[in-house]
Structure 1
Amino acid sequence: MSLPADPSRAIKTAVASLVEELVEFRRDLHRHPELAWEETRTTEKVAERLARDEIGVQLLPKSGLIAEIGTGGPVVALRADLDALPVGDQTSDPWRSGTDEVAHACGHDVHTTALLGAGLALQRLDRERPLSGRVRLLFQPAEEVMPGGALEVIAAGGLEDVTHAFGLHCDPSLDVGQVGLRVGPITGAADSLSVRLTGRGGHTSRPHLTQDLTYALATLVTELPSALSRRLDPRAGASMVWGLLRAGSARNVIPATGVASGTLRMLDPVAWADAEQLVRGLIGHIVAPYGVVADVDYIRGVPPVVNEPRSTAILADAVESTLGEEGIVSTTQSLGGEDFGWYLEQVPGAMGRLGTRTPGGPTFDLHQGDLRIDERAVGIGARVLAQAASAALPRPSVDASA
């Protein structure tokens, strides 16, 4: 019996039979979130479920795993991230996080479960008739830290023989049943920066006898973003934002140490390549008049995710097969960092934004403890990923015999 030219019906049927299980799986992950590089339970749960359907896995050194469906031929990679955030769960759902100050506030539990569902559906498809290639499932650790767990997956051979890579990311500003797509950059480059200042402290009545570290720190915090705006091409879309400031313990004591930490994000990969050297030089010039010493910890984070045109078209066709034309919406480039960009520096691919908002319901934000997901997104994500992988493989020859 020949395989239908379009396997979308078989994928739809397979995912539909799995949806209830997948929703429960996602809720279990949500109850038990794990931070970057600590996703051991999550890894075990995914590996156990794949093994039940005879899908072999390769465990990564710390956490995460790689699995593969099919034998021989080109490889299409599908990726999900496993880690949660150090954020308290503020929801009242029965499946709210059971770990203090840790929650899946970015939707990675949805990503993981959708990829699991896609893998199980493709395994069933492969049993009916072997795929014309292989589909590699990348369950990646540590997306939320820089430079990200993608580099470990790549080092473990995750991209060997890969022709296309696809991923989805939750977007609570889009309704469930919509997927945001664009050709070209869809996220920004992002780096992490921490500056520790040290100097001679003292009494606030005698600042001239100190190296007024608090004043130097405040100057750095205001002047570095300003200087960058004049040293980088405005078209680079650079944004330097501080998230942590720490200095002092009393109002009348000038401290001897202080720290400022934040992120530098930009839209342009060319400007990103030179950013570290520029930032280090500017910091030295800004703090020099105050006599303090600046110890700069600059972590080169992630490049932009740049959606390749043909891969984006494949992903769009997968969305249309799943949701109809109305399911495809255009989206803009954001300054959010995503280490999926490391994959797309090596292979063609595309990432889409998976709508998770209940139509007519509130709009939540990522990285916030009150994030809630319309769970219909789990099955939709599984179908879109499976369909994209199937479409990216070479078309099998049709057997005309009965």
Structure 2
Amino acid sequence: MTALAAGPVIILTVLPDTVRAAMISPYRAPAVVGTLATAGLVFRRMRAGRQPKDRREGTAQLLLPAASKTCQVGPAAVSRMRHELIDALTPRPIPTAGPETGPAAVARIIDRVVRQHGAQGLADLRPEDLAAVHMLLRLLRAGPAEAGALAQNFRKPDAVLDLRDEAMTIARLRREFQAQEAAYAAACRAWKRQNAQAETGPIGALHAVDQPDPDLWHKVVTEFDPAVAAQREAALWCVSQARCHQATVALFLSRVAGDSMLRAAAWRGDQAWLDGVLAVIEAWNAGAYSANDIGLDPVDAVAQDAPAFAAELAALAQETGAPHWPMPQGAFCEYPGRPARPRDEWCLRTGRLLSPPRAAHYFDPEIRRAA
């Protein structure tokens, strides 16, 4: 039973790298637990015939000897570490749907390590054990650079970094699920409200969706008619949102050049629309658009459009006498990524939902499988 109860860190430190990599689940605990049970049997057999050791040796042995010697184990340090670990292990509300949360994944990993050597709780840990577990907690929560540095204190740095990757993946899946859930709920609210409202056009419809929906914005940018003022305004509004994805912004700029929209706006005297496009370019160059999950099909759909956009800017400056606008640096490149999720129920012309939103169009199947 000792081996079966062993935490993943101890087991991972004795298994070959290829086996250890296969054991790390990219989603949640269920995929890890079954593998760990099998690994536990292997671990028990490996120990067969050896002299039994004190079960309380395991956690401190996570660290290299030099790292163990430098850990602070004075009363004040031990009290602080114990308090932080108690907080990390304090149960949080369990989500009713979707993947588990990042903090829950961290707590699960820490709990396995605490219990692997027979301790019933943090109070049973020796100061050196507490220091080792606390360093693991710091690593699980740290950014990439800090985690890499902390990992060098462990006997098997790759093993503990794999655990961090597991926790980070779960946290990412949870964030994505929450964003998808919010977009779906917002679309459902818009569907219910529109039955009591007159048509508001595409801009009004976008404002009615009270949560960010980058996939809807991508649909608007892909399908808008440059000859229809309301649709032009809607597309510009979409790419003006900070959470708009890079591929969507690049596609908008490509279409602007391809349909000579800047010169057309100058001929119409539509300075407000021109100012809006310039603001998008400046935001791009300032790094305001960080989301990049959505890709293009083909991935190089806009990769060759920089010369056309530069020519459009030159023509605009020549015809208006205004200063030459900056190029959107690096915008016209390849955009690998997932396809934009369908928003077929939306009618861009009327700005209305033609049917109730379908959950299948909002939730990533990968995340649902991980839940």
| TM-score, L = length of structure 2 | 0.27
The higher-RCO structure (CA 8 Å, 6+ apart) is 1
* Richer in helix (by share): 2
Q: Higher Cα Rg: structure 1 or 2?
A: 2
Output the TM-score relative to the length of structure 1.
0.25
